[in-house]
Chains A and B, each alone.
With several copies, the nearest count.
Chain A
Amino acid sequence: MKQVKLDDLYRDTILDHYKNPRGRKELDRIDAEHKGYNPLCGDQVTIKAKFTNGYLEDVAVDSQGCAISVASGSMLAELLPGKSLKEIQQITEAFREMMHGKKLPDDMDIGDLDALEGVKKYHSRIKCALIPWITLNDLIKARQEKETLVSPSLPE
């Protein structure tokens, strides 16, 4: 059998995040919580977040799924704490575009996420990489809708 040629997909960084997911922790305060689920492959992710002044102060990510989705969630947990909601939105958008073949803006810091670039060639796996990001996005949206009811002008 020929040597595996998957190093563009499962880079060491990914396997490292997969085996030691960074976000699997407790938060001292939970401001919002959201569950993501892909019934088509059974992947599940639970995200808990702590916000301070419109910043994501900390985030816990608990993934059950394949190496790609677990690693992606772990990278999310490593990269995002301390970022503003606007920054998070930009990174999420950039990552989604990367999965669909676009180049990243030069000046954007995406931490270990670039290790996931190889996924874009595996169409059936793109969803795996995106699921934690979609879930966080849903969490933020749900929170904003709730808060709008209380105080309509929210800092970004």
Chain B
Amino acid sequence: MTTKTDGVIQMPAETGKQVLNVDIIRNDFPILNRKIHGNRIVYLDSAATTQKPACVINALSFFYRTSNANIHRGAYTLSEESSSAYENLREKIARFIGGVDQRGIVFTRNTTESLNLVARSWSKANIKAGDEIILTEMEHHSNLVPWIMIAQETGAVLKHIPVTEDGYLDMDIFYKLLSERTKVVSVTMVSNVLGTINPVSEIIKAAHSYNAVTVLDGAQGVPHTKVDAKELDCDFLAFSAHKMLGPTGIGVLYGKPELLEKMEPVLTGGGMIQEVTLNSATWAEIPWKFEAGTPNYADVIAFSSAIDYLEKLSMDAIRIHEKELTAYTLERLETFPDLTVYGPRDIEHRAGVVAFYDKLIHPHDLSTILDSYGIAIRAGHHCAQPLMRRYNIPANVRASFYIYNDKADVDALIEGLKKAREYFQYETS
């Protein structure tokens, strides 16, 4: 086993496995040096947003210090530099998600805006009363509410793939829901509560056999595993930079160019037009047609560093690392009394998200108490109220992992859970 200084440990050749060297990686994340109430920070909320490596933070500063100028429209050095950097990232992202056509990469603010864009623009033009849109019971609000709006406006009907008790999509029911009426199937790659890795390839194939358009909410997928949009053959894929080491304010919508070309823009104004008169306007080509106004180009450029960082580690190594951490967490939590853990137990179908419900301490109290030990976890409905209702709980607590977490973080969590009970004067086993 050789340790390299770039955060990757090369395992013996015969295993072909690379794993992450968290000690080295942690050095790249300045925030992890911070103390919270005197304790080292144990950041277990990466499903909400990830921390940023120094290279991303520095790329952002460096850009503002040396090259900043509005893009696309200036014929001077700074503007040429900004524009190229911006367009280069489009190419990089297209490669990162499997070598798709870069004209299909639209920059938005976040996953939510990407999904709204598909719902507003593609669906509204293509959906009529009686058509069906298939979603799942485990969707994030951002992949539910835009479709609720479309259904209300068009008279389309929403169908939801139910979630089994152990956290899987009920695929038998999915196949029953599918029909000639199905126009859109929009599902999350990974549940942000259950951690379930959904069989999206199978879902896409089935949907396409009915000529339905497929939309993937990749917010929890793209950051954590290699995603090949070309092989998956999804029609749309949405994700957020801030959940994969990048800055806030950048989302991506990938769409097949032939679909994007037929779509109307949702936002109009400077930068996305071809020709404007006082009473008419024509549009620029894709993807610019969908990017109205001054884009958040500085953050786009910083996102580029995040992609480099992830590629250096390799998405496969990231997945292996998270699998190990998740297995360990499940193992430790399962022996904990009066505590329910949600989602699949089979680690092959589970990403690094572990939500649980402590029957003795309310999620918000737990979160506050854990914080006093420096442990950052999220309590609440995780923007998935229908799923909470499915499991009949008002809220729960979620720990989620990324490349800078290790088993010591999980141990800290378990220790924290015990302390919380002591603090509330409950017995701990």
Pairing of A with B: yes
**B39 touching A10, Cβ below 8 Å:** no
Chain A residue, CB-CB nearest to B366 = A66
Map CB proximity to B onto A59-85 as digits: 1 under 8 Å, 0 otherwise: 000001111100000000000000000
Tell me, rounded to whole Å, the shortest Cβ–Cβ distance linking B39 to chain A: 5
Smallest CB separation, B366 vs chain A (Å): 9
**CA A96 to CA B84, docked complex, whole Å:** 18
B381 neighbours in A (Cβ, 8 Å): 39-42
The residues of A that contact B62 with a CB separation of less than 8 Å are none
Residues of chain A within 8 A (CB-CB) of B39 are 1-2
Q: Beta-carbon contacts of B128-169 to A below 8 Å, as 1s and 0s?
A: 000000000000000000000000000000000000000000
**Chain A's nearest CB lies how many Å from the CB of B128?**
32
Interface size class of A (residues with CB under 8 A): 20 to 34
Q: Is A32 an interface residue (CB 8 A)?
A: no
With known contacts A66-B364, A122-B368, A15–B416 Cβ distance under 8 A? no
Taking a contact as CB atoms under 8 Å apart, the answer to whether A15 and B395 are in contact is no
Using a Cβ cutoff of 8 Å, how many contacts connect chains A and B?
Answer: 82
Residue A44 CB within 8 A of the other chain = yes
Q: Enumerate chain B residues within 8 angstroms of A42, measured Cβ to Cβ.
A: 380-381, 388, 393-395
Give the shortest distance, in Å, between A118 (CB) and chain B (any CB): 11
C-alpha gap A9/B37 in the complex (Å) = 14
A65-B362 in contact given A4-B373, A39-B274, A122-B75 (Cβ < 8 Å): yes
Query: Smallest Cβ distance from B77 to chain A, in angstroms?
Result: 10
Q: Decide: B373 and A124 in contact? CB cutoff 8 A.
A: no
Residue B424 interfacial (CB < 8 Å) = yes
B79 at interface by CB-CB < 8 Å: yes
B74 to chain A, nearest CB (A): 7
Q: Is the CB of A1 within 8 A of B419?
A: yes
- Is the pair B75, A39 in contact by a Cβ cutoff of 8 Å? no
Alpha-carbon distance between A128 and B362 when the two chains are bound, in angstroms: 12
Cβ contact within 8 Å between A10 and B423: yes
How far is it, in angstroms, between the C-alpha of A15 and the C-alpha of B424 when the chains are bound? 7
- Tell me whether B195 is interfacial, beta carbon within 8 Å: no
Interface contact A41-B394, CB-CB below 8 Å:
yes
The chain B residue with its CB closest to the CB of A121 is B80
User: Contact string, A11-23, partner B, CB cutoff 8 A, digits 1/0?
Assistant: 0000100000000
A43 close to B (CB within 8 Å): yes
List 6 other contacts, CB 8 Å, given A6-B369, A9-B368: A2-B373, A6-B372, A15-B425, A39-B275, A41-B395, A67-B424
Q: Which residues of A contact B (CB under 8 A)?
A: 1-2, 4-6, 9-10, 15, 39-44, 64-68, 122-125, 128
A-B contact pairs, 23 of them (CB 8 A): A1-B415, A1-B416, A2-B373, A4-B369, A5-B38, A9-B368, A10-B424, A39-B274, A39-B381, A40-B380, A41-B364, A41-B379, A41-B395, A42-B380, A42-B381, A42-B388, A43-B394, A65-B394, A66-B364, A68-B365, A124-B80, A125-B75, A125-B364
